[in-house]
Amino acid sequence: MDGFLLNIRTPPDLRNTSLLAEPLQFHLSVIDSYLFVMENPVAEIRTVIQLLVQSPPSLQQKALERFFTPNASFVHPFCRVPSFNGSRWWIVKIFQWYKIMSPRIEMQVHSVAFDDSQLKLYVNMSQIFSIWLVPFHVAPVTLTTVLDLTTDPSKTDASTNGDHTKYYITRQEDLYQTSDFIKFLLPHIGYWLVMAWHLMATFFCLVGVTALWPMLYLEENGYLPVWISRGNLAYDVGEKIPEIKRE
């Protein structure tokens, strides 16, 4: 399997092609013809996500094994896999469980940004998730996926050849707004409950500013007491700065 690289890095719709009419009969060489190793994350991540989310189970597993390192980690509002030797196996099971719950997932990537110095890829996208067993359950959500990448081939069992830089996923974190991820648990009503909470919190901000506006004057003129400006009554938040610099 590892000897194949995709020449055309944008495959057709994986759900509609005739090759998927009988996915259990996929030959290994056919599966491999869709797989590659990322060399241009910004241009290729849409295809990678399509392979991970919308492909049949056999191709999905091969894609996870190709694009994720063996010790990759995964963070989601409802589940988490820490990084350890063989952790990718658990990530595979999470993706497979999502496929069991929602065999059809529609998705659209809106924007992609790559921080080359930190090897972080940011993908803003929308998807429609529907649990087949729950009548009328349809959850259109928008999320931002943050992917930590590595160029160290020793962290993956996928092949590399040539002089091109190859990128592999070492960590995936899916970030949802509360009003979006609640749709997985409480479709329809959950969104409106969160919206009501947000509006009440906004009103509370107005009340708080009205009641405590003198603090803004004190800070603006340098009169804010040190025991307040350092963070809170008991702790200096400056002591935590080294922790965020390690991220």
Higher-confidence position of 242 and 100: 100
Residue corresponding to tokens 């592999």: 168
What domains appear along the chain, each with residue ranges and CATH number? 18-176 (3.10.450.50), 189-245 (no CATH)
pLDDT (average), residues 159-165: 62
Determine the pLDDT at residue 163.
64
Determine the pLDDT at residue 134.
78
Handedness of CA 41, 43, 44, 46 (dihedral sign): positive
Q: Where is 78: in which H helix or E strand?
A: none
Determine the pLDDT at residue 232.
79
Higher-confidence position of 16 and 199: 199
Residue 13 pLDDT exceeds 70 = no
pLDDT (average), residues 187-216: 89
Q: What are phi and psi of 71, to 5 degrees?
A: -110, 30
| pLDDT band, residue 7 (cuts 50/70/90) | very low
**What is the end-to-end Cα distance of the chain in Å, rounded?**
35
Q: Which of 17-31, 37-51, 70-84, 100-114 has the lowest mean pLDDT?
A: 17-31
From CA 45, how far away is CA 38, in angstroms rounded?
A: 8
pLDDT (average), residues 66-82: 95
CB atoms within 10 A of CB 208: 11
Q: How many CA atoms lie within 13 A of 199 on its CB side?
A: 6
Residue 109 pLDDT exceeds 50 = yes
